[in-house]
Amino acid sequence: MTDYYSILEVQRGAPDDEVKKAYRRLAMKWHPDRNSGSKEAEEKFKDITEAYDVLRDPQKRAMYDRYGEAGLRGGGGASDFHHFDLSEALGVFMRDFGGFGGIDEMFGGARHGGSVRTGADVKVTVQLSLGEVATGVDRTLLLKLLDACDRCEGNGAEPGTQPQTCTTCAGVGEVRRAQRSFFGQFVSVAPCPTCKGEGQVVASPCRKCRGEGRVRAERTIEVKIPAGVASGQYMTLRGVGNAGSRGGALGDVHVVFEVADDPRFERDGEDLYTEVLATYPQLVLGGTIEVPTVDATMTLEIPPATQSGQVFHLRGRGLARVNASGTGDLHVRVQLWTPEDVSSEEHAVLQQLHALRPRVELSSRGKGFWSRMKEALGA
């Protein structure tokens, strides 16, 4: 014979609130929503709910205490007794613990991800220059979104009236049907048709928001954009987006970054690449050349016999690593500049140079030539 007391793990004679508490605890563990369709959990949930439904009702409990299960079957106003199927068990659970408040409280205050009343997320794109990426920047963003209506304080009901808990779904916003199929019983869940999933119905809608609980508004938010972000990356600001309908929670704001191209640089994460030109005498004799950095310029000392295409690595002159410590490098490729208009004086000197060294002398390659060539070619 089924022992409802041991199923609920309470003593015979346990007071009502203890029975209720025990059921809450067990339902939390065995509710089908929390056990992704486990057959065992379903059975447990049916058993505990049936036990709870008998023990919470003083009349049924008295009959059960005196005659056991037979007492529930025979007469005494409880003659409709039968074992619960899943939809009945879920119905009892909703009846006594239903409504968002009840369930949220029960499931540790965590909102169900897909609550229909949570406001929709908002996406805003922020344009940044590479200079702003280098330093990080504070931005004030103007958002057009939905705010809670001030006339009805967001609940959608005309002041002086209250929204009512939907009777079709007992405020849960979903209707469940346990259906039998060839493979057994399964539960289907659909938004409640009466309240469209909101759990409440408004009999006299607020005149300002027509019962929506929300009105169009503009809101500014401050965003601290860290250094080093890249196009396509985004940050999420929780709970500052659209108001939910009828008092639902605020949605999130996703701030998406779009970094404008800087013609001076190629970017690879935190590393920057740039190209500078040098004259033939600068390459041969060595010297200083101006190199652009994100926010200024700096001078680069190149040694004598620098090859055209040689790359210099300026450590820490790139961009900050986002959400990490350290800074990337600036890679500078030095290229030979060929002037297009030469004066007659230059022409004469170049002819002299040419006469002195009419062709590339492969035999005169110095030590390290190939390694510098390889690097110049990006190998």
Residues at the site binding Zn ion, with contacts judged by CB under 5 A: 149, 151-152, 166, 168-169, 192, 194-195, 206, 208-209
- Report the nearest approach of Zn ion to the CB of residue 178 (Å): 18
In the bound state with Zn ion, the residue whose beta carbon lies nearer, of 191 and 286, is 191
The neighbouring-strand residues paired with 140 are: 222
In the bound state with Zn ion, the residue whose beta carbon lies nearer, of 201 and 319, is 201
Report, in angstroms and rounded to the nearest whole number, the Rg of the chain calculated over CA atoms.
37
- Report which residue type is found at 215: V
- Report the nearest approach of Zn ion to the CB of residue 152 (Å): 3
In the bound state with Zn ion, the residue whose beta carbon lies nearer, of 7 and 146, is 146
Q: Give the CA count within 13 Å in the CB-facing half-sphere of 236.
A: 6
In the bound state with Zn ion, the residue whose beta carbon lies nearer, of 193 and 326, is 193
- Report the nearest approach of Zn ion to the CB of residue 118 (Å): 17
Nearest to 312 by CA among 285, 278, 339: 278
In the bound state with Zn ion, the residue whose beta carbon lies nearer, of 209 and 302, is 209
- Report which residue type is found at 198: E
Residue pair 219/145 in contact (Cβ under 8 Å)? The answer is yes
Token couple for 47: 């058993």
- Report the nearest approach of Zn ion to the CB of residue 143 (Å): 20
Distance in angstroms (rounded) separating the CA atoms of residues 259 and 266: 12
* C-alpha of 157 from chain center: 32
Distance in angstroms (rounded) separating the CA atoms of residues 238 and 251: 7
- Report the nearest approach of Zn ion to the CB of residue 248 (Å): 14
- Report the nearest approach of Zn ion to the CB of residue 96 (Å): 17
Nearest to 300 by CA among 333, 336, 263: 333
Cα dihedral: 53, 54, 57, 60 (round 10): 150
Distances (CA, A) of 321 to 135, 159, 272: 11, 53, 12
Distance in angstroms (rounded) separating the CA atoms of residues 123 and 284: 54
In the bound state with Zn ion, the residue whose beta carbon lies nearer, of 54 and 195, is 195
- Report the nearest approach of Zn ion to the CB of residue 193 (Å): 8
- Report the nearest approach of Zn ion to the CB of residue 203 (Å): 14
In the bound state with Zn ion, the residue whose beta carbon lies nearer, of 207 and 313, is 207
- Report the nearest approach of Zn ion to the CB of residue 80 (Å): 26
In the bound state with Zn ion, the residue whose beta carbon lies nearer, of 197 and 328, is 197
In the bound state with Zn ion, the residue whose beta carbon lies nearer, of 247 and 318, is 247
- Report the nearest approach of Zn ion to the CB of residue 199 (Å): 6
Residue 335's contacts (CB-CB under 8 Å, 6 or more residues apart) are 275, 276, 277, 278, 308, 309
In the bound state with Zn ion, the residue whose beta carbon lies nearer, of 51 and 146, is 146
Residue pair 301/289 in contact (Cβ under 8 Å)? The answer is no
